[in-house]
Chain A
C-alpha cells in the first residue's frame, strides 16, 4: 500500500539508504544464526570447540539414548525433551502471570490523565535500569530461607518457620515475571491508550455491564497489544537462563541453562549447544508463524 509512496519519495537512493539496516541484519542476525546452524552439524572437540567434520551426533544425542558407549539400540532420550517441555510450560505460565498482572496495570496507566501517565510509565521502567543479573541475585537474596522476606513474615507472626521459596518452580516464575513484566505492560498500554473509550460508553449505553464491555468491546480492540506483549514475554522466557539458574537450582533446569552450559568452560559441547539452540529457534518460529497467520487472516476479513 505505502510501497508506492516510499519508492517515489526516495527514488534511486532507496538501496544505499537501506544498506545500514541490511548490514545490521547480516552481521547480527544472519551470520550468527548460520554459524549456529553449521556448528550444530559438526563434530565436538572435547575441550570445547569443534572439529570440522559433518555429523548428526548433536541432534542424535538430543533425541536418542544409545547407551554409555553408543552401541545399544536407540531409545528415546526424554531428558532434554523434558527440559524443553518444562521450559515451554514455565514460559507459558510466566506469560499468563504477566498478562493477568500486566493488563490491569496497563489499563490503569492508560486511563490516568496525560501527565500522570508518564510518571507511571517511568516507574514501571525504573527497575530495568539495573542489570538483569543484579536484579535476579537480589531477588535470590530477598526470598532465601534466611532472607528479609521470611524474616519479616516471621517477625510479623504470619509464619513460624521460613517458607522455602528458593530453588522452586515458584521462584523461577517470580524471576521470569519480574524480568519481563514491562514487555507485557508497554505494548498493552500503547493499544489501550489508542482505544476509543467512547466505545465503552456506547457499550454501557446498550445495556452491557462492565465485564461484558471488557470482554466484548475492550479486549477485541486491544488484542494486537496483548498478543505482542505475550510474544515479547513468552519468547525470552523460553530461552531465559538467569532466573532458572539462580532461582531454580538444578531441579528446575530450563533450555536456556542447558544451552549456556554447553558453551561454558572446558566441559562444553558446542555442536550439542548449537543443536539445542536451533531446536529452540524452530519452536519460537513456529509460534510466530501461527501468530502471523492469524493476523493475516484477520486483515483479510477487514
Chain B
C-alpha cells in the first residue's frame, strides 16, 4: 500500500502504537489515506478510532511508529504547527467570540491581514449557509448551526487534511441525514482530504470513499463500502457492518475458486474462496439476511425451517426461523408489494440462500 504513489498519499501511518500506561489504544496500525479522499474510521467506542484521529491532529503523541503528512514526518510536530484542522465532537466553539471571529481565528493565528480574514470568514459562513449569523455568539445558535460554524472554522485556513470527530452525533436523525449529503458535497467541492470518525455504520457507508474498520486498537479491514460489506475479512467486520447470520461451520472441500462449507448436518453451501480457506478449517459462515429468500408453497428447498417471529419494519420484514438443528437464522424480505403476511409464526418454510454472497470466515 505504501510507496506505490507517494505524491497522492495525504496521510501515511506505519506501525502506529499508542499506549496509555498498560492499556494499548493502538496496536500496529498501518494505513495510507489518499488526497481528496473521504476516509472514514469506523468502529465501536473504545476501538481506537478517536485516538488515531487525535494522533493525526497532534493532540496525542505516538508510542511507536511513523506518521507522514504529504511525505513530511509530522510525528514530533506540535498540533499548532500541523496543517490539519479538526471539527470537534462537541464543536468546541470559543464562547466569548462571535461566529465570524471563531471562523477567522485560524487565519488570524496564521498572520493573515484583517481584510483577508473578514472576506474568507464571510465566504466560509456563506458556504455553510450562516452568512447572516456572523455577529452572533455561539450560544445563540442551535446545535446544527454550531456544527456548521465548527465546520466553517476548520475549513477556513484551507487545511491539507480535515479531521472530523463524530461531528454529527449530537444532531437529530433528520438533520444528521441532511448533513451527510452536505458534508460529502463540501468535501468534493473543497477538494480537501476528510478523515471522518464515526461509530455509525450507516454514516460510514453513505459518505465514504474508503472505510477503515477498527476494533480493540487494531485495523480490521480497509476498503470501499461495498468491499467491507460484501467481502468482510473476519467475524468482527461481518458482525459490525450490517446484519449477518454467523453460523459455526467447517470447510468440507476447497479449490482455488470455491469452497464447500457445512451449514447443517446434511446441507452444505458452496461459496467463493476469497480468503484462501483449506479443508478442515473451522470458522463461521456469514450469510446476509437479505440474501435469503423464503418459499412457503410447494417449491422444493434443500433447507427448511419453522418461523419463530415476524417483525414488520416498514421497508422490509424481518423473519427469524429455527432450522431443524435448533440453529436460529434471520431473514429480511423487502416489502415491495402489498402481500404483507408472507409467512406466519409456526409455519414451515423453505429457505433459498444466495450461496455466492456467503463468505466463510476462519477463526
Contact = CB atoms under 8 A, between A and B. Distances in A.
A joins B in a complex:
yes
Nearest to B93: A202
A82 to B, nearest CB: 40
A221 B88 contact: no
A302 B137 contact: yes
The winner among B95, B106, B109 for most chain A CB atoms within 10 A is B109
A205 B94 contact: no
Given A204-B78, A220-B96, A198 B109 contact: no
B92 A202 contact: yes
Nearest to A198: B92
Interface stretch (A8-16, A92-100, A168-176, A207-215): A207-215
Given A208-B109, A302-B137, A221 B79 contact: no
A201 B92 CA distance: 9
Q: How large is the interface on A (under 10, 10 to 19, 20 to 34, 35 or more residues)?
A: 10 to 19
A196 interface: yes
A191 to B, nearest CB: 13
A199 interface: yes
Given A206-B153, A207-B109, A217-B94, A201 B88 contact: yes
Contacts of B93: 202
A205 B95 contact: no
Contacts of A203: 94, 105
Contacts of A301: 137
A210 B346 CA distance: 68
Nearest to A298: B96
Contacts, number: 60
A207 B105 CA distance: 9
Interface residues of B, number: 26
Interface in A177-200: 196, 198-199
Contacts of A212: 109
A204 B86 CA distance: 10
Nearest to B82: A205
Nearest to B139: A302
A202 B96 contact: no
Interface in B154-183: 154, 157
Contacts of A204: 58-59, 78-80
A220 B153 CA distance: 19
A199 B139 CA distance: 15
Interface in B118-164: 137, 139, 153-154, 157
A205 B86 contact: yes
Given A204-B80, A302-B139, A199 B57 contact: no
Contacts of A205: 57-59, 79-80, 84-86, 154
Contacts of B154: 205
B80 A209 contact: yes
A209 B95 CA distance: 19
Contacts of B86: 201-202, 205
A206 B106 contact: yes
B90 interface: yes
The winner among B57, B58, B106, B137 for most chain A CB atoms within 10 A is B106
Contacts of A198: 88, 90, 92
A206 B149 CA distance: 14
A199 B59 CA distance: 12
A161 to B, nearest CB: 49
A-B interface, 10 closest residue pairs, ranked by CB to CB distance from nearest: A206-B106, A207-B109, A202-B92, A204-B79, A220-B96, A198-B92, A204-B80, A208-B109, A205-B86, A207-B80
Interface of A: 196, 198-199, 201-209, 212, 217, 220-221, 301-302
15 contacts: A201-B92, A205-B57, A205-B58, A205-B84, A205-B85, A205-B86, A205-B154, A206-B106, A206-B109, A207-B106, A207-B110, A207-B157, A208-B109, A221-B95, A301-B137
Given A204-B59, A204-B78, A206-B106, 6 more contacts: A201-B57, A202-B92, A203-B94, A205-B59, A207-B106, A301-B137
